[in-house]
Structure 1
């Protein structure tokens, strides 16, 4: 059956955008999140020093980003985003014991996804050679796309978005360690803002758009009926922990339909949309804040997660306490 397109008739995007191009022969990649959960800053720095070395091994990721966020229980989480374009190298990294807890006095968690290239899409307001950003753009070529600036375009940028929705998860508990086995598919988004090279839009974005965006993300985290399983509002850092002029939101959704429904219909996202375009109209200059996202629709069996000494609202753990039909 041919995939149905959402492109409106005679669609002409209002602005240019770019999408990532995976290298020939790459059919899947690994994206892992690795987090330390604690109330103590010293704990995070001790763990960070050890994790830096693990990400320098021969089987190291192609990309490593770092950030920090405060979770729903008020604990600080330092998190690393790691991408491998060759899943075999990730398997080697795991076999070396690199994802074991870096520091025993804190909570430790990881979430790993084996992502089919045909079930992922990226979108960027700027080319990487014009405005370097984090994530997959650090290693992928980019090309212009006309499939943007309309509702539902994320699905059109994917070759395959047919994974079934999440139904819940089974929890395998061993002392303080909980492994999560997701039942069904699941949707992952990392969406980011980079104002490191901005002068014209820097203050309008930070004062008018970013607060509205944070309220929308907070709403998702507090309302599981939206289909959002968890959100992370992350301040990005360099590998030594220095704060960067970048932020990203990472969220797990029951399905792509739930994510698109929120973006298309819910007032909390429509306020973000309106605040952004209001800013553009007021300034009347080319946008110099870089925005981008990565969205993946993950088939059953492609996500693994573990939580060691973490509180029960961490990450995908709430899936074990609920059912989504």
Structure 2
């Protein structure tokens, strides 16, 4: 355990877990989210196809994942997660105009974070060679960790978890374009479920656990007093837009403390916790659904975003409406 670990004395995890190992010399990486927003239909599909082509250049990301979600205004958002382990290659991609050229016929947006390796952590129920999943696991080695299965373990898995909470955001508005610069720090989580290889727990998970998870995400999206700025409940797809047996939730929080407070204490998350372990107790077989997450605390100046022709509650735009504590 770490010197200041939150783990109970003589803690022994109930199950194995694994965490990502960044390459030697890698001190930071870029994680970007890129989306098109409109009513679904032919125009939306053309806009999505146009966005997809932007990830085909020589400076393309090391990992690209695709998904879709319906936002709070009822609009369809097709989006991509893109990861660059070399920030310089991301800068070259930006210089090519890949994230600033207009998208025809739809709103579009991007949110980019330069993430310090010392301020990020990942946790997986399965090793990548055993159960391939999306996200950073596609490009990182993994090692087992004892820092899990107790409240506060996410903070213990970070080398540096102390970042000041955000105070809001500076907005630059020009016609239908809004540029956002986050003031202070901010917390980002991508948490995911993959049941593509499941035969034992699949139905139990989809019928008993997933609905409880969705209620928790909905609660966060409707209650900003939790410190949650934005949630996205994403159905993952292949690069051609075909649905996969994967889902993830992305959320921006004012701070890591706000995220941990919800996970540790709020009934909506405790119900998720209880439903999951109740599912495990119904069957003695090993878990065959892969669960994983990536959590980062982002220092001041590391997050920028742009929204073009998007509704005013998209993504980080609410940060510019009023200060956050």
Query: Same fold, TM exceeding 0.5?
Result: yes
| Aligned-residue CA RMSD (Å) | 1.0
Which residue of structure 1 aligns with residue 104 of structure 2? 104
Provide the secondary structure at the position in 2 that maps to 1:158: coil
Which residue of structure 1 aligns with residue 89 of structure 2? 89
Deviations 1:109-128 (A, max 9, x none): 00000000000000000000
Which residue of structure 2 aligns with residue 271 of structure 1? 271
Alignment: residue pair count: 324
Which residue of structure 1 aligns with residue 38 of structure 2? 38
Distance 1:45 1:106 in 2: 10
Which residue of structure 2 aligns with residue 192 of structure 1? 192
Contact 1:28-1:85 at 8 Å conserved across structures:
yes
Deviations 1:34-86 (A, max 9, x none): 01000032233212322332211100000000000000000000010000000
Which residue of structure 1 aligns with residue 254 of structure 2? 254
Could you tell me the TM-score, scaled by structure 1's length? 0.98
Provide the secondary structure at the position in 1 that maps to 2:295: strand
Distance 1:102 1:124 in 2: 37
Provide the secondary structure at the position in 2 that maps to 1:60: coil
Provide the secondary structure at the position in 2 that maps to 1:72: coil
Distance 2:109 2:56 in 1: 20
Distance 1:295 1:47 in 2: 30
Structure 1 residue 7, shift from structure 2 partner: 1.5
Distance 2:3 2:303 in 1: 25
Contact 1:118-1:159 at 8 Å conserved across structures:
yes
Provide the secondary structure at the position in 1 that maps to 2:282: helix
Structure 1 residue 322, shift from structure 2 partner: 1.7
Q: Are residue 227 (structure 1) and residue 197 (structure 2) matched?
A: no
Alignment of 1:297-316 (within 5 A): 297-316=297-316
Per the alignment, do residues 101 and 67 of structure 1 end up closer, same or farther by CA in structure 2, a change over 3 Å counting?
A: farther
Provide the secondary structure at the position in 1 that maps to 2:315: coil
Distance 1:57 1:101 in 2: 14
Contact 2:234-2:249 at 8 Å conserved across structures:
yes
Structure 1 residue 3, shift from structure 2 partner: 6.7
Deviations 1:254-302 (A, max 9, x none): 0000000000000000000000000000112100000000000000000
Contact 1:19-1:142 at 8 Å conserved across structures:
yes
Distance 2:241 2:40 in 1: 14
Structure 1 residue 176, shift from structure 2 partner: 0.4
Structure 1 residue ranges, 4+ long, deviating more than 3 angstroms after superposition: none
Which residue of structure 2 aligns with residue 9 of structure 1? 9
Alignment of 1:169-208 (within 5 A): 169-208=169-208
Provide the secondary structure at the position in 1 that maps to 2:151: coil
Distance 2:244 2:264 in 1: 30
Which residue of structure 1 aligns with residue 236 of structure 2? 236
Q: Give 5+ residue unaligned stretches, structure 1.
A: none
Could you tell me the TM-score, scaled by structure 2's length? 0.98
Q: Are residue 136 (structure 1) and residue 136 (structure 2) matched?
A: yes
Distance 1:37 1:5 in 2: 42
Distance 1:93 1:102 in 2: 16
Distance 1:150 1:256 in 2: 16
Distance 2:33 2:48 in 1: 14
Which residue of structure 2 aligns with residue 209 of structure 1? 209
Structure 1 residue 102, shift from structure 2 partner: 5.3
Provide the secondary structure at the position in 2 that maps to 1:283: coil
